[in-house]
């Protein structure tokens, strides 16, 4: 997702919290080293940027999308090496039976047709922000909204095989939204054991890699993240570690100081959550090398597996 709009403003400059970063870095060092080796082998372009401050604003008009096999909309028919279960598919017996996971596919493919609705301001505790945005896209027009739904379907399949009950905040089945406050409410009402919001960034070319966004401690208005800060960090660290291991991707070279972890208090989806929740930016859609991964069905399956294994590790303790 681009750092523009409701949950996408640039992180404000802040002094580094050395102790927290040291702990996070230590948790990720073994996997991150392997990720960097593979990353360099693929020809990393380097060039760290300025923490997403030059992000590209998403277009308000529908992009042209090529009709390759990887670009087929996710649905009940198999795509690549994943099978997308229907929303009503029952959870199987398994180690996660009884656990509820809410998957939040960032944005909605139809948001661009409803600018008035998604520009409406909602209260996120710390301030007011737009309901939602259109999201970003690759330079070739593969949209973030399409990416997030595809990965969400793959992730659901993997989690249901482990016995989890999986719910979506949206499945391309509504004309726009939901707003960021409603997305948080869906996880809260489901009493989810874990919530993951899936995104892809829209930063400058040369800015590469993934990062997991954790909730900061916030107690303002309707926002009270105190009870979820610690479990959310545990969830985020486990997802980041498994994402490195499974995908071979490196932590972001433009935010997170190489840890793959970023803490923010300006995201309504985190501020208003009462259950453990994180965001994951799977890569930068505006960088050609990251985009080549994000548009690959085989890589998206790895991304889903990396996220899934982190969730399973968190829920099993």
Residues 6+ apart with CB under 8 A from 111: 118, 132, 133, 134, 135, 145, 176, 177
Which is it for the CA torsion 165, 240, 82, 283, positive or negative? positive
Asked about 117 being catalytic, the answer comes back as: no
Count of Cβ atoms closer than 10 Å to residue 54 Cβ: 14
Segment 60-68 long-range contacts (CB within 8 Å, at least 24 positions apart): 60/112, 60/115, 60/134, 61/112, 62/112, 62/113, 63/137, 63/141, 63/142, 63/143, 64/141, 65/141, 65/142, 65/143, 65/146, 66/140, 66/141, 66/142
Of 105, 87, 236, the closest CA to residue 183 belongs to 105
Q: Kindly name the residue from 130, 144, 237, 281 that is annotated as catalytic.
A: 281
> Which residues participate in catalysis according to the annotation?
281
């Amino acid at each position: 997702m681009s750092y523009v709009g409701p949950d996408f403003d640039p992180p404000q400059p802040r002094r580094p919290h050395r102790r927290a970063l040291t702990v996070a870095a230590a948790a990720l060092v073994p996997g991150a080293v392997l990720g960097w080796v593979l990353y360099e082998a693929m020809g990393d372009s380097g060039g760290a940027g300025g923490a997403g401050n030059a992000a590209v604003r998403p277009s308000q008009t529908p992009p042209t999308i090529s009709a390759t096999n990887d670009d087929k909309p996710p649905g009940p028919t198999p795509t690549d090496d994943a099978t997308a279960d229907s929303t009503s598919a029952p959870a199987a017996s398994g180690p996660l039976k009884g656990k509820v996971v809410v998957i939040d596919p960032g944005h909605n493919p139809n948001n661009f047709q409803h600018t008035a609705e998604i520009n409406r301001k909602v209260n996120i505790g710390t301030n007011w922000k737009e309901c939602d945005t259109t999201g970003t896209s690759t330079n070739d027009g593969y949209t973030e909204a399409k990416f997030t739904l595809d990965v969400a379907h793959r992730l659901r399949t993997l989690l249901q095989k482990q016995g989890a009950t999986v719910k979506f905040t949206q499945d391309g089945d509504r004309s726009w939204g939901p707003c960021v406050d409603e997305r948080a409410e869906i996880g809260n009402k489901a009493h989810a054991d874990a919530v993951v919001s899936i995104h892809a960034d829209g930063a400058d070319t040369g800015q590469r890699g993934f990062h997991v966004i954790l909730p900061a401690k916030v107690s303002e208005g309707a926002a009270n993240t105190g009870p979820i800060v610690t479990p959310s960090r545990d969830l985020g660290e486990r997802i980041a570690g498994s994402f490195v291991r499974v995908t071979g991707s490196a932590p972001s070279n433009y935010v997170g100081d190489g840890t793959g972890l970023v803490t923010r208090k300006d995201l309504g989806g985190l501020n208003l959550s009462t259950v453990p929740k994180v965001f994951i930016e799977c890569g930068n859609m505006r960088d050609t090398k990251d985009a080549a991964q994000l548009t690959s069905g085989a890589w998206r399956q790895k991304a889903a597996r990396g996220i899934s294994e982190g969730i399973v590790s968190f829920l099993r303790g």
